[in-house]
Amino acid sequence: MTRPAPSMPPRAGSGPASSPLFVLHAEGWDDFELIDSGAGRKLERYGRIVVDRPEPQAMWTPGLPESEWARADAVFTGEDDDEGHGRWRANRALPEAWEMRYGPARFICRFTGFRHVGVFPEQRAHWDWMTGLIRNAGRPVRVLNLFGYTGLASLLAAEAGARVTHVDASKKAIAWARENQVLSGMDALPIRWILDDAVKFTAREVRRGSVYEGIVLDPPKFGRGPKGEVWELFEGLAEMLRLVRGVLAPQPLFIALTAYAIRASFLAAHRLGEEVFGDLAGAIESGELALVEAETGRLLPTSMFTRWSAR
């Protein structure tokens, strides 16, 4: 699932060479498929619904003819930025919500005004990595999921054996995540659902002395907390990671950061990760998450990531 890219050689007088940089590519599964991409768009199947939506990084020519794209069930128009508003145009009668499954988790998809449907399939690469570490830990694992959205990482981590604290600033996202928990039949799993600003919550956890063996964070470029708190990735990420360092258990297991900021570089995230977590025994990996086109095998980059594990 990983493809290493060449690491940068150290400059004269610099510290040790960085770890290799990776492209983690997530292939489809029964309920998801990246059908085609190009000309700033991507064509995907979520369950039985095929959608056509913007993807600025798909700068190449689509592999399929326009007639195939025209068969999409819904097309998103408007802002092509992840945080921009737009609208969906349905080409046939469509349900307001429908179900998908990944492993033991079942979840609800909906059309949102931000071109998303409630799941980021490229995160499969992190889900599988994280749940493998939890299952093989041989000890109790507490996981903190910051900016947790609709809760798939939380559900999968809990099903793998972790005790999970899920934090999101959106009441709708928390409600959606709890719907997914019920749908998955995971009501009894140890998950705390916290409606709060991620920065403020983590700062309080530092003061309380709470610690976690695993931390997942997937911050947006811009967001607002339940009390109007403003989050901006480029201003707040360094502080957020330093707070995360403050709630790491004495024997941590993993940290996974994903960011969908297109004008940011995975190298910048890697350098910040080295600064905050570089003294921990283990490995830091950075690079891009990508989806694999079903027919051509082309890789579509979606986001940058930095992750650390104790391996």
Q: In the predicted model, what is the mean pLDDT of the chain?
A: 89
Spell out the residues 6+ positions from residue 219 whose beta carbon is closer than 8 angstroms to its own.
146, 147, 198, 231, 233, 236, 237, 240, 259
Q: For the chain, what is the domain count?
A: 1
Spatial CA neighbour of 173 closest among 149, 197, 190: 149
Spell out the residues 6+ positions from residue 204 whose beta carbon is closer than 8 angstroms to its own.
none
The CATH number of the domain holding residue 208 is: 3.40.50.150
50 vs 227, residue with greater confidence: 50
18 located within any domain:
no
Q: Report yes or no: 308 and 19 within 8 Å, Cβ to Cβ.
A: no
230-232 vs 21-26, strand pairing mode: unpaired
19 located within any domain:
no
Q: Range with the lowest mean pLDDT among 18-27, 209-218, 287-296?
A: 18-27
Give the DSSP letter of residue 303: E
The arithmetic mean of pLDDT across residues 156-174, rounded, is 97
Give the residue numbers spanning the domain of 94.
Answer: 2-11+24-309
160 located within any domain:
yes
SS3 168: strand
16 located within any domain:
no
Q: What is the pLDDT of residues 271-311, one digit of tens each?
A: 888 889 989 999 899 999 999 999 899 999 999 899 999 97
- In this predicted structure, the answer to whether residue 10 has a pLDDT above a threshold of 50 is no
Q: Range with the lowest mean pLDDT among 12-21, 262-271, 274-283?
A: 12-21
